[in-house]
Chains A and B, each alone.
Chain A
Amino acid sequence: MELAEYLKKKIKHAVKSVIYNRTQYICFFIAMFVVEIFCGLVVIAAHNGNRLEHRYITDEYEHHLELRNLSEDQYYYMYNDIYTVFANQHIYDTHKVEVRRDAISGERLYTMYIRFTGDPQQDYSTFARRYFRDLHDIAGSGSKFAAVTTPLYNIDARLAGNTALNVLAFLLVTALSVALVTALYNIRINHYRFEYGIYMTFGADFWRLLSTCVWEMLIVAVVVYIPAVISSWLIGMAVFKLTGETFEYYAWTPVIVLLFALVVALLSVCMPVWRLSRRTPRANIIAEDNSNLVVSPRISFEMLGKTYPRSYEFISAWRFRKYSLRLYAVASLFTAIFTAMVYAAELIQIRQDYETPQFYIHFIGDESYDGGTEGGYMREELLEIPGVEGVIKVTGNLKTYGTDAAEVRSHILVDGDKLTFGTIFVIYDNERRATNLVNYCPCDPEIIEYLSRYDIEGDPYSVLRDEKTVIVSDSAMNFRKLKLKPGDKIQVAKYKSKIAEPPYLRMLTGHKLLTEQLHLLQFDYVEYTVGAVVGNLPSSYNIDMFFSNQDYTDLTGNDVVYRTIGITVDPSLSPDEVRALETELDRWGDYYDATVSNTFVLTERNLTLAKRVPIFIICIAALLLAVTPLIWFLSQILFTLKREGEFTVLIALGAVMREVGKQCVWDGVMSVAFGSVVLAALTWAANFATYYATNHFIVQFFVGLPLRYIFRIPWGAAALGAAVALVCAYLACYVPYLLFKRRVQLTSVAEPEDI
């Protein structure tokens, strides 16, 4: 009962205070409304993303496993599977069986579509243990039997992975929301520091101060809660429906948004109040007239002969520089985050649009891909599969056959001044540096065609034409490592003999291994000329170097044989069309003794498109941008309120109202000038941080694609952000003057009859 009474009293008092200060709380209503929409959107996107993923996969795949190209014997082995007789041993159903005939032998080949009855991971493990060995034994050599799991097989793991990502996104949005509301609350606290200083003088501690603030923010959070939940629902629905997808409202959304709102309100008040309570009461009391914001000078400016208002305001701005810089930094930070979020949405879109093969054809016999050489016909055949359309690209090696230099006890030598800043290679001698973090790759016209997508300097075809010429990628881990130019020389080491090769060498890798090898092994060095340098090539740990086939074989001892072909298909193909194409590729594979594997990349692509993640990011970014004017205006209005005394004194000393207005104009002009510098710096930093994190970590460890992003600033978003920020920077200085002028005019003299 006491608690209920206490809560009732607090809430009542807080409601009265919010109503009384409603003008000042407007910006907090707006900010909490927006951040609650953030939360709603993230929850809606997460729920519908998982729902769509589940639906897409379960609609497209009713089976967990495909046993492809089973021979007749293999098929009947499965058909007569004794385990299916026993109920407690029964782990799968046969969903479908397809039969085709081998194009060469005419033999019947079966594809069984298996659906597990229990947990797919466990059942697959049991299945593999029971059947795979026997199936391989039955098949013998030359069998094209393959067991391929479908996306349905690991759907639970996928959804769990999505949930983990969604939780991360939720935490990021929470952090962003707390940062935004805290920034606003800091501004408000600063305005009331004098009052709180008086409270502290009379004994108010952190908890007492907090209780005077937090209830009001909780009321604000609750007042905007229902409109925010409805708005997030409408926006989420619009995003999905307008793009032709179904939409489902997640019943827990209102609960999550409410909890989120209360947490954000609490945290965004706690931190500013905590900092306030750590200061002495005196430090707060002197904040009555902005004294706390002044950077203490050591000298005075030469005022005699200066002009008013320009010089006056320049000096004022200089003295308030700490406050101004803080305002520019905080307000511009959120604008910069807006631009970075648009950039992140672009990067996600690039990832989604990246073409990867839907099928891989693997040669298991003596055949290999001839598409790289002149006169090759396999590519033409594959592009023109009879009866089925949809193959848009056939690619051979794509540098998947590179040989690690360390594997063949090799390394390269490069002049030390050809390394970029921060690149560390092993010191070979005074001038040259060595590294074994290199991939040696063969090269043919098809590879050159692939490399030509990137920035190439020099003539790449020289590698096929000239002796001892090489194409070099300048990057590793998507970092630029080398500053080579066409015509530069590189020495490539070929192992000759050993002085010693102790066993511990086997445990070493990378440059540690190379350092030991340089002492213990002997090498012949062959000089190569750099024919072309490729910039921005997606790269892994090693630098890629492309040699002619002959040089590659000489160096590595491996023949250049392409055993895998990638088949990229039209993304608009339906699942049935993809299956039909797979069957036709199987038939083609019969002629060349090759098997076909499905990467299910179209399903992935359609899934990621359906989730509309970039659009949700853009929505949140746009809302964030819409809220940044609050920071400018709240800060400057409260700051100028405390300067009204100063304006009144200036008028008393002889200034006219329009000169005070000009003072504010100069203030606005300086805000725009300096604010744009801060904004430009923060925008660059935010976008670079996004690029760096994405290009050097996320791509390497999570994406699994040969992807490399280019650092850029989305100029449209940056321009929009800058326009909003700088207009606000100017108006936030001028509008408070207009309010002051209006107040002065309203309190001007009235005639007795008016009273």
Chain B
Amino acid sequence: MAILEVSNVIKQYKQYDEIVTAVNRVSLKVEDGEFIAIMGPSGSGKSTLLHICAGLDRPNSGSVRIRGNDLTDMSPDELSRFRGIYVGFIFQKHNLIPQFTALENILIPTVMCNKPDFSYEEHLKKLISALDIGDRLHHLPSELSGGQQQRVAIARALINRPQVLFADEPTGNLDRENADEVLRLLLYTKELIGQTLIMVTHDMSVAEHADKIYKMEAGNLYLFRDEHGYRRNSYEEEAERAKW
């Protein structure tokens, strides 16, 4: 069963007298344990789609299901609780909470949704070791470099062992070396925890590691490269293929 099912999702915004369609009838299925990359030019709607899939935003129509739970049917509070249990999210700008240390930032999700069924301490140790942030745990975000902040954000997203991890351009603000490091860490922790990873990225070298690459063009999503390596070049080509 697909862990994530997106069906005919539409997201539109009204800007003055103009209606902007950020996501145009997008459907998507992601299997358990897959690594999906979503690429596309700026303004194509990929971050909007990601937020909708993670339950951080609501579509105008369509449905989003995670593990069979329809996010679009949930109230805001139910959605919040659901996110705390099932979803991890890595923001592009880290969004670490400034008054808490790195360690405290990592542990904030445990305060929200305390999962009693496993040992946080063991899991925390593994994450700290894997992300190599042991020597900066008691520093504030303002005292960390960009790469360190991103690693803390990854640890925060993973502390509750979410079933699906959404990452919005996690390497977008990093240099090559740090970007490679973050990708390696994401892939490593994915293997460690066995979660599904859905990532928005500009970086083809990052996306190449994904099981599937999707592309968004003007709100339309198409499969650019499947797990077998087959590529399409455009949404039209994909649409044509879908016709056949």
Which residue of the partner chain, among A286, A320, A749, contacts B99 with CB atoms under 8 Å?
A320
Question: Is B2 an interface position by the 8 A CB rule?
Answer: no
Q: What 0/1 pattern do residues 44 to 58 of B give for CB contact below 8 A with A? A: 000000000010111
Known: A300-B138, A755-B60. 11 other contacts (CB 8 A): A293-B99, A298-B138, A304-B110, A316-B99, A650-B108, A652-B89, A654-B81, A654-B84, A657-B77, A748-B76, A752-B61
A291 touches B142 (CB 8 A): yes
Q: Residue among B54, B80, B121, B137 with the most chain A CB within 10 A?
A: B80
Question: Is A296 an interface position by the 8 A CB rule?
Answer: yes
Nearest-neighbour CB distance to chain B for A592, whole angstroms, equals: 83
* For the complex of A and B, 3 pairs with smallest distance between CB atoms: A654-B84, A749-B58, A303-B107
Return 13 A-B CB contacts under 8 Å, by A number.
A289-B98, A297-B138, A298-B138, A300-B104, A303-B108, A304-B120, A306-B111, A312-B108, A312-B111, A653-B109, A654-B85, A748-B58, A755-B13
Question: Is B113 an interface position by the 8 A CB rule?
Answer: yes
Interface of chain A, main secondary structure: loop
Question: Is A290 an interface position by the 8 A CB rule?
Answer: yes
Chain B residues within CB distance 8 Å of chain A = 10, 12-14, 19, 54, 56-61, 76-77, 80-81, 83-85, 89, 91, 95, 97-104, 107-114, 120-121, 137-138, 140-143, 156
B104 touches A654 (CB 8 A): no
A751 touches B60 (CB 8 A): yes
A304 touches B140 (CB 8 A): no
A/B pair count, beta carbons within 8 Å: 111
User: Which residues of chain B are within 8 angstroms of A612 by Cβ–Cβ distance?
Assistant: none
Question: Is A710 an interface position by the 8 A CB rule?
Answer: no
Which residue of the partner chain, among A294, A653, A657, contacts B108 with CB atoms under 8 Å?
A653
Nearest chain B residue, comparing its CB with the CB of A751: B60
Chain A residues within CB distance 8 Å of chain B = 286, 289-291, 293-294, 296-301, 303-308, 311-312, 315-316, 319-320, 645-646, 649-658, 748-752, 755
A291 touches B98 (CB 8 A): yes
A752 touches B12 (CB 8 A): yes
A291 touches B137 (CB 8 A): no
A752 touches B60 (CB 8 A): yes
Q: Give complex CA distance A308, B57 in Å.
A: 23
Nearest-neighbour CB distance to chain A for B25, whole angstroms, equals: 12
User: Which residues of chain A are within 8 angstroms of B19 by Cβ–Cβ distance?
Assistant: 755
Q: Give complex CA distance A311, B100 in Å.
A: 12
Q: Give complex CA distance A289, B101 in Å.
A: 15
Q: Give complex CA distance A298, B137 in Å.
A: 10
Q: Residue among B10, B83, B142 with the most chain A CB within 10 A?
A: B142
User: Which residues of chain B are within 8 angstroms of A315 by Cβ–Cβ distance?
Assistant: 99-100, 104
Nearest-neighbour CB distance to chain B for A222, whole angstroms, equals: 35
Nearest chain A residue, comparing its CB with the CB of B95: A649
B110 touches A750 (CB 8 A): no
A649 touches B56 (CB 8 A): no
User: Which residues of chain A are within 8 angstroms of B121 by Cβ–Cβ distance?
Assistant: 304
Q: Give complex CA distance A280, B208 in Å.
A: 43
Nearest chain A residue, comparing its CB with the CB of B19: A755
Nearest chain B residue, comparing its CB with the CB of A649: B95
Nearest chain A residue, comparing its CB with the CB of B58: A749
Q: Give complex CA distance A511, B107 in Å.
A: 69
Which residue of the partner chain, among A289, A291, A657, A750, contacts B76 with CB atoms under 8 Å?
A657
Which residue of the partner chain, among A308, A645, A750, A751, contacts B112 with CB atoms under 8 Å?
A308
Q: Give complex CA distance A316, B105 in Å.
A: 12
Nearest-neighbour CB distance to chain B for A254, whole angstroms, equals: 46
A655 touches B112 (CB 8 A): yes
B104 touches A652 (CB 8 A): no
Nearest chain B residue, comparing its CB with the CB of A295: B99
